[in-house]
Amino acid sequence: MHGSGQRLAVVTGAASGIGAAVARRLVDDGWRVIGWDRRGCDADGVAGRRVDVRDYEQVAAAAAEVDRADLLVNSAGIGGRGFASELAPAAWERVIGVNLTGTYYCCRAMFPALRRAGGLVVNIASVAAHLAMVEGAAYCSSKAGVAMLTDVLGVEWAAQNIRVIAVSPGYVRTPLVMDGIHRNLLDEETIVRGTPQRRLAEPAEVAELIRALAADELRYLTATTVRFDGGWTASGGYQPHLAGGLLPAADDARTTPDAARTDRAGLTVPD
């Protein structure tokens, strides 16, 4: 981070989970923080703004209010599961639209402000970017896209002194995951058993990593993804939403939609 005075960060998805923890951590560290969220954001010390990252006009209008930015954290995101053969096109578009297109829109619109400061972009990808997960066609593709977008922008924007890094968390104790656990779409015990460190991460731990990535001493780090998953990916990754972490049997090929599965896929993709 260069320049004098207070450093400025824009954090998307700042109303909840990882984004909220990042915003809080940066405020505590003396940053000026602007929080973009489709729900708005009224956290202490954060200048909240209602922005839907799927809508480029909204994103561009919010970005035009920011003169220089030392940090952009793209944490706005949604889950979404469904067998590829059954997924509603609208569900696919929602997941890709928020997670991948929304991330790109925010990077694109914030480029001038980031260039002025020689800033850093941190995109929140996921372990789902690196391992194929059953029912993950949309979510895994969106996150793999975020990881590749990060590499491309890191390469393109190195000349402007902008760094771009993705963080791929494993399972983090946020409303997104806890909601899945409460609705029996995820199984906490299976997540814990499948994670070498035998626990979920706390949002504050991800926030601490992002704060550390913003250090000037790490300026050589760009165009890459940091896995922050307690060893989950390296160990092969359980499929915690499947009983015992097992793949479906061959005779359970999931090619014929039925009401229960379609309903379940719809439920997991909020709009």
Which residues belong to the active site? Answer: 139
- Among positions 28, 90, 156, 175, the unique one binding ligand NAD when judged by CB under 6 A: 175
HSE value, Cβ hemisphere, 13 Å, CA-based, for 113:
23
Q: Which distant-in-sequence residues (6+ apart) come within 8 Å of 53 by Cβ? A: 12, 36, 38, 59, 74, 76, 98, 102, 103, 105, 106
233 sits near ligand NAD (criterion: CB under 6 A): no
Distance between CA atoms of residues 34 and 69, nearest Å: 10
Piece of the chain touching ligand NAD by CB under 6 A; list 50-58, 113-121, 207-215, 242-250: 50-58
Q: Kindly give, in sequence order, each residue whose CB lies less than 8 Å from that of residue 112, ignoring residues fewer than 6 positions away.
A: 63
Interface residue with ligand NAD among 7, 25, 38, 241 (CB under 6 A) is: 38
Q: Rounded to the nearest whole angstrom, what is the least distance from the CB of residue 4 to ligand NAD in the complex?
A: 31
Instruction: Compute, in degrees rounded to 10, the torsion defined by CA atoms 208, 99, 54, 265.
Output: -130
The answer to whether 210 contacts ligand NAD (rule: CB under 6 A) is no
d(Cα 199, Cα 222) in Å, to the nearest integer? 29
How many binding residues for ligand NAD (CB under 6 A)? 30
List the one residue from 11, 18, 106, 186 that touches ligand NAD (CB under 6 A). Answer: 18
Q: Which residues fall within 8 angstroms of residue 10, CB to CB, at 6 or more apart?
A: 33, 34, 35, 36, 63, 66, 69, 71, 72, 73, 106, 110, 113
180 lies in the site for ligand NAD, by CB under 6 A = no
Given the structure tokens 């550390």, which residue do they identify? 212
Please tell me whether residue 108 binds ligand NAD under the rule CB under 6 A: no
Nearer to ligand NAD, 77 or 119 (CB): 77
How far, in whole angstroms, is CA 210 from its chain's centroid? 12
Q: Which of 7, 24, 54, 227 is in the footprint of ligand NAD by CB under 6 A?
A: 54
230 torsion bin: left (phi>0), alpha (psi -120 to 50), beta (else)? left
Report the residue from 126, 150, 195, 222 that binds ligand NAD according to the rule CB under 6 A.
126
By CB under 6 A, name the one of 7, 11, 13, 194 that touches ligand NAD: 13
Instruction: Pick between residue 1 and residue 185 the one whose CB is nearest to ligand NAD.
Output: 185
Question: Given the rule CB under 6 A, which residues bind ligand NAD?
Answer: 12-13, 15-19, 37-39, 51-54, 75-78, 98-99, 102, 124, 126, 169, 171-172, 174-177
